[in-house]
């Protein structure tokens, strides 16, 4: 195994003589194996090694034990050790991230901080082939492009992954042969987390019933996809320099870009948005599709995107600029509507329907907005297009913006909730509807819904109420897209 890892490291030039390597160590089998193998590699390649452990402050004494274990492991191996403590739960709440996302951000931040302080040149992570397969399936299920299918590459900037050529069973067997213990995180067995479902319920049947080398083949495919992505990005960089021009705070995209393959146009437009915003956060496929539509559309149309970016179709192409009138961190401006539709309100204030019941949860409904609602990623936007036919989607809805008024909120159910179920105004108790939908009693209080007062407008995945549906008289439409968690977009049989 040591030779295999050494060959893999040399193949991708991960470690060079004189490097100062920072290794992330959690105490799990993967990171313990990484640390021991890196220690062995120092006999072949002269480099310095230090380890960083990040305490997330989430699992009490168990997490304290992980930190102590890592400290003693490094002491026994003669490896410099640094412990960081991060309030991950608080950071997740403040940044509206999942615990997993907040934990990942905290670890990266600590690794970078220590590398700057210590003079580290590379940061080693313990991902292996199973992680590649799990990430590929996870991203594919949630919706992704090439980037999500090959997101765990051998070398990404200063980050290296020396164990990508190994599978989890090999890693554990290596540690057993050496008589080396490791720590088990109990949360890794919980099926409440999507990745654990993939790890324990999806990959085993693939290995046992389809192909015993399924994980290996998926990792190999990810490597090929990474090479394809690298080539496409190289071609797109040439197009970017040819068709995108910066003039002060303005960015212009030539309409001649339309003559290039769509996949390359996507890269160019994505980089435009990243450059003007300074970040790719909260940008998704829907935003690139909006820019594509704008570039192909009529002169004079205009849209707004996350990060206060305004894009306008002009003669010759697109003009993009970032609105400087709002403070950093404020929501994006509302898209400008065609003149025949008039101007809708820019953004709705938070609902004023009274305090939520004890134990119930409530979040504001804003337009436009991107918001974390439970395990969902919710995006709202004012819709510019004429809708001659409403698509029948379970997790994407088009509502009459003006009927919602300024009182809508995302929340869980409350006593007295009702939904209008007929065009004539007939309604039904939400409790009875949940029984009709065969929703288990123990999860009914966990389901998020959109409501005004005690009127339920929409229960994503189940039904949209009649009171807010788009009609021939509708002037302004709000599009709501729900993604994430364990949901799968599908045609909605209740949407008639």
Q: d(Cα 283, Cα 37) in Å, to the nearest integer? A: 38
Nearest alpha carbon to residue 135 among 215, 192, 213? 215
Lookup: tokens for 486: 């364990």
Q: d(Cα 213, Cα 218) in Å, to the nearest integer? A: 9
Q: d(Cα 109, Cα 117) in Å, to the nearest integer? A: 12
Whether 370 and 330 have beta carbons less than 8 Å apart is answered as no
In order, the DSSP letters of 321-359 are EE--SS-TTPPPPPPPPPGGG----S-PPPP-S-PPPTT
Q: Residue 27 annotated as binding?
A: yes
Lookup: tokens for 459: 């229960």
In order, the DSSP letters of 367-424 are SSEEEEETTEEEEEEEE-S--SS---BSSEEEEEHHHHTT-EEEE---TT-EEE-STT
Q: Residue 451 annotated as binding?
A: no
Lookup: tokens for 278: 């300074």
Lookup: tokens for 110: 């600590």
Mode of pairing for the β-strands spanning 477-484 and 376-383: antiparallel
Contacts of 3 (CB under 8 A, 6+ apart): none
**226-265 burial, b if ≥16 CB within 10 A, otherwise e?**
beebeebeeebeebbeebbeeeeeebbbbbebeebeeebb
Residue stretches of the annotated binding site for ATP: 26-31
Residue stretches of the annotated binding site: 26-31
């Amino acid at each position: 195994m040591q030779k295999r890892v050494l060959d893999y490291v040399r193949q991708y030039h991960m470690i060079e003589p004189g490097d100062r390597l920072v290794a992330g160590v959690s105490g799990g089998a993967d990171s313990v194996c990484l640390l021991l193998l890196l220690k062995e590699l120092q006999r072949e390649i002269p480099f310095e090694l230090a380890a960083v452990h990040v305490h997330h402050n989430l699992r009490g004494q168990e997490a304290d034990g992980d930190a102590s274990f890592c400290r003693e492991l490094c002491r026994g191996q003669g490896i410099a050790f640094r412990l960081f403590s991060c309030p991950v739960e608080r950071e997740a709440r403040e940044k509206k991230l999942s615990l997993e996302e907040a934990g990942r951000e905290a670890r990266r931040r600590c690794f970078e901080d220590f590398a700057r302080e210590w003079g580290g040149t590379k940061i080693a992570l313990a991902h292996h082939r199973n992680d590649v397969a799990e990430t590929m399936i996870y991203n594919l299920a949630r919706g992704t492009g090439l980037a999500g299918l090959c997101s765990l590459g051998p070398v990404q900037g200063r980050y290296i992954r020396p164990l990508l050529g190994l599978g989890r069973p090999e890693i554990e067997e290596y540690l057993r042969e050496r008589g080396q213990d490791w720590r088990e995180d109990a949360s890794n067995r919980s099926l409440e987390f999507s990745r654990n479902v993939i790890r324990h319920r999806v990959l085993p049947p693939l290995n046992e019933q389809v192909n015993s080398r399924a994980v290996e083949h998926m990792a190999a495919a990810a490597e090929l996809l990474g090479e394809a992505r690298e080539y496409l990005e190289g071609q797109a960089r040439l197009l970017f320099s040819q068709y995108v021009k910066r003039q002060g705070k303005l960015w212009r995209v030539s309409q001649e870009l339309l003559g290039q393959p769509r996949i390359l146009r996507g890269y160019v437009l994505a980089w435009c948005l990243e450059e003007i915003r300074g970040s790719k956060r909260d940008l998704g496929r829907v935003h690139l599709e909006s820019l594509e539509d704008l570039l192909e559309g009529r002169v004079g149309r205009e849209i707004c995107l996350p990060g206060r970016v305004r894009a306008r179709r002009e003669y010759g192409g697109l003009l993009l600029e970032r609105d400087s009138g709002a403070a950093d961190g404020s929501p994006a401006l509302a898209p400008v509507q065609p003149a025949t539709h008039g101007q809708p309100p820019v953004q709705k204030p938070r609902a004023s329907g009274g305090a939520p019941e004890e134990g119930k949860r409530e979040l504001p409904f804003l337009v436009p907005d991107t918001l974390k609602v439970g395990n969902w990623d919710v995006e709202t936007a004012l819709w510019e297009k004429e809708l001659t036919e409403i698509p029948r989607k379970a997790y994407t809805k088009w509502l009459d913006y003006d009927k919602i008024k300024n009182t809508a909120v995302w929340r869980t159910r409350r006593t007295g909730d009702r939904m209008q179920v007929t065009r004539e105004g007939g309604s039904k108790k939400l409790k009875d509807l949940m029984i009709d939908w065969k929703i288990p009693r123990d999860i009914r209080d966990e389901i998020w819904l959109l409501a005004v007062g005690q009127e339920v407008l929409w229960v994503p995945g189940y039904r949209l109420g009649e009171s807010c549906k788009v009609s021939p008289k509708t002037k302004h439409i709000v599009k709501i897209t729900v993604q994430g968690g364990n949901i799968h977009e599908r045609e909605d049989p209740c949407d008639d």
